[in-house]
């Protein structure tokens, strides 16, 4: 296992999904009619063969300093790779494409992100329902989005 992951105290017992970030995180903006959401898109490649795919829940970004930043996965992105991407190795079937909330990390942290890690218990159907605190946090996040979109229209 990578020295950076050891320094960040990431277990190597296969109890976590560990995905190496390919390229840089991309700050995107999705527009739904009158509603916009910004997020960071990630392309990850698992360190070992595992049948799990990131589908949501909580995870962490491991920065180049071994700092762990908690993030929430907002969406999974379905990518249909080109033949060139497959043949050149830029895409592998196990690759993951997903988005995390833009409010969870700063642009500087996004540039320094090297890995995405997530306990397997957070993945797929094994995820626990949101706690009341998490529900309140998501509600606050969406209220902020709505307020920002309302301000954009009135400006």
| Domain definitions of the chain by residue range | 3-130
| Cβ 102 vs Cβ 27: under 8 Å | yes
* CA–CA separation, 99 and 86 (whole Å): 22
Q: Taking the CB of residue 130, how many other CB atoms lie within 10 A of it?
A: 13
Residue 123 is predicted with a pLDDT of 63
pLDDT at 154 over 70: no
Instruction: Pick the range with the lowest mean pLDDT from 68-72, 102-106, 123-127.
Output: 123-127
Residue 153 is predicted with a pLDDT of 63
Q: How far apart are the first and last CA of the chain?
A: 51
Calculate the average pLDDT of the chain: 85
Backbone angles phi, psi at 73, to 5 degrees: -80, 125
Sequence-ordered list of residues with C-beta below 8 angstroms from that of 89, at least 6 positions apart, any chain: none
CA 118 to chain centre: 9
Q: What is the mean pLDDT of residues 38-54?
A: 86
Residue 104 is predicted with a pLDDT of 93
Q: What is the mean pLDDT of residues 47-52?
A: 79
Strands (E), the chain: 16-21, 26-32, 35-46, 57-63, 68-76, 96-101, 113-119
Residue 124 is predicted with a pLDDT of 56
Q: Tell me the pLDDT tens digit for each residue of 82-91.
A: 889 889 988 8
Confidence category of residue 54, pLDDT binned at 50, 70, 90: confident
């Amino acid at each position: 296992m990578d020295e950076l992951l050891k320094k960040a105290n990431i277990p190597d017992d296969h109890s976590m999904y560990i995905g190496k970030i390919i390229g840089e995180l991309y700050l995107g903006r999705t527009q739904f009619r009158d509603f916009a959401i910004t997020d960071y898109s990630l392309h990850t490649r698992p360190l070992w063969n595992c049948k799990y795919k990131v589908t949501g829940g909580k995870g962490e970004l491991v920065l180049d300093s071994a700092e762990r930043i908690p993030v929430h996965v907002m969406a999974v992105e379905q990518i249909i790779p080109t033949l060139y991407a497959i043949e050149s190795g830029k895409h592998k079937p196990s690759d993951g494409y997903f988005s995390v909330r833009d409010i969870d990390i700063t642009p500087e942290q996004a540039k320094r992100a090297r890995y995405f890690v997530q306990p397997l218990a957070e993945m797929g159907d094994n995820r626990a329902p949101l706690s009341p605190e998490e529900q309140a946090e998501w509600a606050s996040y969406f209220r902020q989005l709505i307020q920002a979109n309302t301000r954009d229209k009135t400006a």
